[in-house]
Amino acid sequence: MQARSVRVGCRLWTLDGERTVPTTVAAVTAARAREVVDVVTDHVMFTVAPDQMLGTPDGWVHARDATGAVLAWTQARKLCRTRLTVRAGYELGYLVGANCADGTVGKNYVSLVVNDEGFAARYAACLSAATGLAARLEKVTRPSGYLQRDVPGFRVRVVSSYLADLMRQYVGGDAHHMRQRFPRVVLRDRDTFEGFLDGYTDGDGYRSKAWSGRVLVSANVPFLTDLAEVVGARFTPRTNGLASHLVVVDRWASRGTFRAEQHPLHLREFCWAQVHEVRPRTTVNKPFTLYSYRLDPHPGFLVNGHMVRQSW
């Protein structure tokens, strides 16, 4: 929306802590000026009044003085997407565990393609229960390197950039199976963690037929190392280039190594953007028209994703 198009009653986006929320325009004022500044950040250049207040970790600063500062920023193109209310519990743990083992996190989707229909059905049910998104099974074919032919399988695919970004956040920012970190969000409670173990086992593990427990498989050694500490298991990674195995007995909880941790379930929708340059710009003939907004309940708003507010 262009600044001149904003009217009383319009809803603008702002940042409230780590999340983006709407705020309502209560008043609009316009003024003519012959001087503005172009603020150049990591992501974009935007034009504001020299005394425009910009949001930084240390409070509000005038735009004219912002060179070298970092500004609160969010991706403007993602403001209008649907936000999810994630529910903690077994289903969330299962969803995260299955994703870590066998899932795919794309730019704007999350999917699972497996041969086991039961696994796919459990994944779809847990995804819906944890996020509220509709998920269903699709019959597909997938290539088998062992059989050298296509084999039947089942796919669950949900298009949601919010969920995709959330899954990346849970595993440290990179959802590649060899680079993902152990998702400590599943340590919220025992129920969530048990779901994680079951989801990961269904994807990259198996239950033992000889003893009460399971074996989890991964070539991501730091991932298994962190998990081993949680369950109090001894873990020796393989050094011959093959995937390592972590043994988790069913009585792991009796070791007393599990410690609940509180991590946000919601998506952190902001980061910091560096201001590289502030360029003064003046005009002699036609003046600039600058707009100021009074908003309620949140006084700030976003300009190209950067947090600003009305001058004092």
Architecture of domain 90-255: Roll (3.10)
CA distance 250 to 276: 55
Q: In the block, which residue shows the tokens 């969803």?
A: 95
List the chain residues with pLDDT less than 70.
312
Q: CB neighbours of 145 closer than 8 A, spacing ≥ 6? A: none
Q: What is the pLDDT of residue 24?
A: 97
Residue 8 and residue 28: Cα distance in Å, rounded?
Answer: 7
Contacts of 235 (CB under 8 A, 6+ apart): 224, 225, 228, 244, 246
Residue by residue, DSSP assigns 43-95 as: S-EEEE-TT-EEEETTEEEEGGG-TT-EEEE--GGGTTSPPP-PPPSHHHHHH
Integer Cα distance of 253 and 187 in angstroms: 13
Q: What does pTM read for this prediction?
A: 0.90
Q: What is the pLDDT of residue 131?
A: 98
8 A C-beta contact, residue 48 and residue 308: yes
**Whether domain 8-76+269-309 has CATH 3.90.550.60:** no
Q: Which tokens hold the place of 295?
A: 């908003």
Cis before 297? omega within 30:
yes
Q: How far apart are CA 110 and CA 105, in angstroms?
A: 5
Confidence (pLDDT) at 312: 62
Which pLDDT score, from 0 to 100, does residue 1 have?
A: 80
CB neighbours of 242 closer than 8 A, spacing ≥ 6?
219
Residue 55 has a pLDDT of 96
Collapse the DSSP code of 189 into the 3-class scheme (helix H, G, I; strand E, B; otherwise coil) and give the result: coil
The CA distance from 20 to 168, in Å, is 18
Annotated domain spans of the chain: 8-76+269-309, 90-255
Report the C-alpha gap between 215 and 193 in whole angstroms. Answer: 16
* Per-residue pLDDT tens digits for 61-108: 999 999 999 999 999 999 999 999 999 999 999 999 999 999 999 999
CA 279: distance to chain centroid? 33
Can you give the pLDDT at residue 192? 98
pLDDT of residue 148: 81
